[in-house]
Copies of this chain bind each other. A is one copy, B any other.
Amino acid sequence: MKQSKLFTKTRREAPKDEVSKNAQLLIRAGYIHKEMAGVYSYLPLGLRTLNKIVGVIREEMDAIGGQEVHLAALQSKSKWDATKRWSDKEVDVWFKTKMKSGDELGLGFTHEEPLTDLMRGQISSYRDLPLSVYQFQTKFRNETRAKSGIMRTREFLMKDLYSFNVDEKAHAEFYEKAKQAYVKIFGRLGIGDQTYVTNASGGSFSKFSHEFQTVCDAGEDVIYIAEDGRAINKEVLNDEVLEDLKLKRTDLKEAKAAEVGNIFTLGTRFSEALGLNFKDEAGKSRPVFMGSYGIGPGRVMGTIVELTADDKGIVWPESVAPFAVHLVALFDEEGKVKKVADELYEKLTSKGVEVLYDDRQCSAGEKFGDADLIGIPKRYVVSEKTLKSSDAGSLGGGSVEVKDRVTGKVDMVPVGSF
């Protein structure tokens, strides 16, 4: 894409009403727009990045057999009454609204109830199991506080997968597979090394759930990390848990962390309440054993910014960058630079490389500053100076300066070799 066409502008100053680093940088670089506290819109660069994250998650959910759906946001009371989650006393993040008839509706903050109900029409026999269903869908949560930028918002995209199995044993197998898929996802998204599978509070059907906690100053959670990489959420840390996990308090390191994913054994809580049963091999009716598995792509995006940004701006891992290459042309009056840069842009894009081409009429300083702020992994500079470069291999055609946003390392690469 040509940057002269991109409608978003960068800003030098951080917006005054943002305290979080991720929102400050993402707004300054033109990725997002703040609609109100805890509500953001995604602009072209931001939507591209969000979609990259979604793409990685989708691939891994498909790889473990997940089937993609898209459920409605509007929720009718009856399904949530069945699980006692309709009342604002039980669930304090509901946004509620009303139909013209006066009937109350909720805006889905999660989807166990509607999906369990839906599945009653699809699952009847053990032959229909196992299966898992997921979606990327907008959730609404009436948060009291929202000052972590896109890491905690009142409206956000969420990947939620739900698994359906015949019993706890079959569930445990899938749960482990999903856990490994999550490890893979956070690895691919470039935050694997800082992300810990963390024991967190379970429910009636399991002692623990598992959170994926990324160590990060902006995180709202506190976790304790063992030397072998296991971790425990502060909320559940007690002597019994330590004994369970055969860990000593003194061997654990405390850290602030952001919960980027969580997986949870639901057991038969929802299937019993809503009547999702199947006939087993003996013909006996039994409730389906369920699990839920969530990742918020927006929170992941915010966490990546928090973790990798430097004093010049955002630093994206390749897998999530809105573009792979930021081609920066410093035009000369004769038009030589433009000719080479235009050709390079065409060549790269025709090869399928995603390029943001800074073809704007503005100063080199402005262009470099914006490139650092926007944070695309590779910066290719074409200028009078690089075209005069007579490095070995340039054959007189000049070079392109290739700079790595992470390491700052610069290479001169002959124009003809792209």
Contact residues of A with B, CB < 8 Å? Answer: 5-9, 33, 35-36, 39-44, 47, 50, 65, 67-76, 95-100, 105, 107, 114, 118-119, 121-123, 128, 131, 133, 138, 140, 142-144, 154-155
Contact = CB atoms under 8 A, between A and B. Distances in A.
B68 A7 contact: no
A271 to B, nearest CB: 15
A276 to B, nearest CB: 13
Contacts of A143: 100
A8 B43 CA distance: 35
The 3 closest A-B pairs by CB, nearest first: A41-B71, A42-B70, A95-B97
16 contacts: A5-B67, A5-B131, A7-B119, A7-B133, A33-B118, A35-B71, A35-B76, A39-B72, A40-B72, A41-B71, A41-B114, A42-B71, A47-B68, A50-B70, A97-B97, A100-B143
Contacts of A47: 68-70
B140 A74 contact: yes
B44 A69 contact: yes
Contact of A122 (B9, B39, B67, B95): B9
Contacts of A142: 99-100
A55 to B, nearest CB: 13
A76 B6 contact: no
A140 B100 CA distance: 13
A122 B8 contact: yes
Nearest to A105: B95
Given A9-B122, A36-B76, A69 B97 contact: no
A68 B97 contact: no
Contact of A73 (B50, B96, B118, B155): B155
A41 B121 contact: no
A35 B74 contact: yes
A8 to B, nearest CB: 6
A58 to B, nearest CB: 11
A6 B75 CA distance: 25
Nearest to A5: B65
Given A35-B76, A41-B118, A42-B71, 14 more contacts: A5-B65, A7-B122, A33-B118, A33-B121, A35-B74, A36-B74, A44-B68, A44-B69, A73-B138, A73-B140, A73-B155, A74-B154, A95-B97, A97-B97
A208 to B, nearest CB: 28
Name, among A36, A40, A72, A144, the residue most crowded by chain B CB atoms within 10 Å (CB to CB).
Answer: A72
Nearest to A27: B121
A5 B133 CA distance: 11
Nearest to A106: B97
A98 B104 CA distance: 13
Contacts of A119: 7
Contacts of A154: 74, 99
Contacts of A97: 95-97, 107
A183 to B, nearest CB: 24
A163 to B, nearest CB: 12
A303 B121 CA distance: 26
A153 to B, nearest CB: 9
Nearest to A48: B68
A140 B123 CA distance: 30
Contacts of A71: 35, 41-42
A74 to B, nearest CB: 5
Contacts of A36: 74, 76
Given A33-B121, A114-B35, A44 B72 contact: no
Contacts of A35: 71-72, 74-76, 114
A252 to B, nearest CB: 35
Contacts of A144: 100
A356 to B, nearest CB: 13
Given A72-B35, A155-B74, A67 B6 contact: yes
B128 A72 contact: no
